[in-house]
Amino acid sequence: MSVRVDALSAGTRILGGGPLTEGVDTLDVSTVVYLPPEEIYEFLVDFPRYANYSEYLREVQQYGDGSPGTEYELTFAWWKLSYTARSEVTELTAPERIDWRLVKDLDASGYWQIDPEPESAPDEADTACRVHFVVNYRPGSVGSGVIDLPRFVSLDWVIEKVTPKIKSEAERVIRRVVADLEGTDREVTLTMHDRPGSE
């Protein structure tokens, strides 16, 4: 199975729009899955399952029943570093959308969006949906104290080393998720959408 990245623009800086959007970067990545929205939604809403697909996600702890207000602790590890993110489910709109936000360290929120796109289904599939993963975050909201760094290691160095791994990890996770959802291996195309800001 291979992954092809179609578009080149993502992480758009939103320059205007008041305090809710000022200084916010947005990443919007999508792919097409050959299943109805209900099956995709039930798969994506099971956050603890994500640990099965990521090389760096070591553990997921759930606090709640999965409904809005449920929090998850996600422990990541790479090299000599370990970091635990805490996220909260803020809204569920079945079978279309799953909203979440981080509750510590970084000002970030996002959502999974499932849009029916039957015209993209191949002959052997009954239907298809485009699945978006959208993240809105303020890069300036993370500080050097968030991660316990080894001596003589700077946060800038860590960001430089980790950034390319994030892309490859996202491709790996999506490839594995699509294979599990559809029950077969195939080429997966990731599309990165440009989201222009308001003036």
Two tokens, residue 176: 């594995």
- Is a pLDDT exceeding 90 seen at residue 5? no
- Is a pLDDT exceeding 70 seen at residue 66? yes
pLDDT of residue 6: 38
Query: What is the set of domains in the chain, with CATH numbers?
Result: 3-192 (3.30.530.20)
Two tokens, residue 159: 């960001």
Buried b (16+ CB within 10 A) or exposed e, 175-185: bbbbeebeeee
- Place 150 in a pLDDT band, splitting at 50, 70 and 90: low
- Is a pLDDT exceeding 80 seen at residue 99? yes
pTM, rounded to two decimals: 0.74
Two tokens, residue 171: 């491709």
- Place 149 in a pLDDT band, splitting at 50, 70 and 90: low
pLDDT of residue 195: 59
- Place 2 in a pLDDT band, splitting at 50, 70 and 90: very low
Out of 7-16, 51-60, 95-104, which region has the weakest mean confidence (pLDDT)?
7-16
- Place 64 in a pLDDT band, splitting at 50, 70 and 90: very high
Quote the percentage of the chain above a pLDDT of 90: 34
The whole-angstrom distance between residue 52's C-alpha and the CA centroid of its chain comes to 15
- Is a pLDDT exceeding 50 seen at residue 198? no
pLDDT of residue 118: 97
Query: Which has more confidence, 160 or 127?
Result: 127
Q: Is residue 42 exposed (0-12), middle (13-18) or buried (19+ Cβ within 10 Å)?
A: exposed
First to last CA, the chain: 41
Average pLDDT over residues 186-194: 83
In whole angstroms, give the CA distance from residue 88 to residue 72. Answer: 6
pLDDT of residue 83: 75
Average pLDDT over residues 163-169: 62
